[in-house]
Amino acid sequence: MEVTNLNIRINKDIKETAEKIFGELGINMTTAINVFLRQTIRENGIPFELKLDTPNKITMDSISEGRKIAEDTSIKGYTSIADLKAALEE
């Protein structure tokens, strides 16, 4: 197997944070980049979804409603599926 060098420029803080995570995983930067490149080849593209993670209004409204329900002590909650099913059958 022939090996070649790859030189990239990256923000110092990003590099240091990534190296710390890779170290905790027991790998170094070179291994992590090789894993990424091999997975890119295997999937014939970026091995994760690239998207803007901006919830739409319906999603934001649903999140807001869920938070209100979670914080409202006057709303009955259930600790098991059996309890929920029993309440639905009433």
Contacts 24+ apart (CB under 8 A), 40-47: none
In a domain, 83, yes or no: yes
Which pLDDT does position 75 carry in this prediction?
Answer: 87
Q: State which residues form the domain around 84.
A: 57-89
Q: Is residue 76 part of a domain?
A: yes
Instruction: Among 23-32, 41-50, 52-61, name the one with the lowest average pLDDT.
Output: 52-61
DSSP state, 15?
H
Is the per-residue pLDDT at 51 higher than 90?
no
Enter the tokens of residue 71. Answer: 């914080």
The two structure tokens encoding residue 13: 């803080």
Mean pLDDT of the chain: 92
How many domains are there within the chain?
Answer: 1
